[in-house]
């Protein structure tokens, strides 16, 4: 799951950089408003990419889920004051 999210993140960030470069190297020659619009779209991609990359997947262990290792779970429970 982590590798898939990482690939999606890098694809989104690559698209963002591609939009910026394409907007100001090619598209601005025909239409500056379209180039500005492309930059606005590119500006919205990084927050969405960060949210996508950092969201918890269905198979990811959450901070308070037991790991399945009794000794480790006992140690963490002791640190958290549960026992």
> Residues 2-24: pLDDT tens digits?
788 889 999 999 999 999 999 99
pLDDT for res 54: 85
Question: In a 3-state reduction of DSSP, which class is residue 81?
Answer: coil
Residue recorded with tokens 């790991």: 67
Residue 44 structure tokens? 């919205």
* Structural contact between residues 77 and 83, judged by C-beta atoms closer than 8 angstroms: yes
Instruction: Give the pLDDT mean for 33-46.
Output: 96
Domain range annotation of the chain: 2-57
Please give the angle made by the CA atoms of 30, 46 and 19, to the nearest 5 degrees.
20
């Amino acid at each position: 799951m982590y590798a898939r999210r990482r690939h999606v993140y890098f694809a989104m960030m690559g698209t963002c950089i591609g939009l910026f470069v394409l907007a100001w190297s090619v598209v601005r020659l025909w239409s500056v408003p379209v180039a500005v619009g492309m930059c606005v779209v590119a500006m919205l991609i990084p927050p969405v990419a960060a949210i996508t990359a950092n969201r918890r997947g269905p198979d990811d262990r959450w901070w308070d889920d037991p790991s399945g290792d009794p000794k480790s779970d006992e140690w963490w429970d002791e640190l958290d004051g549960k026992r």
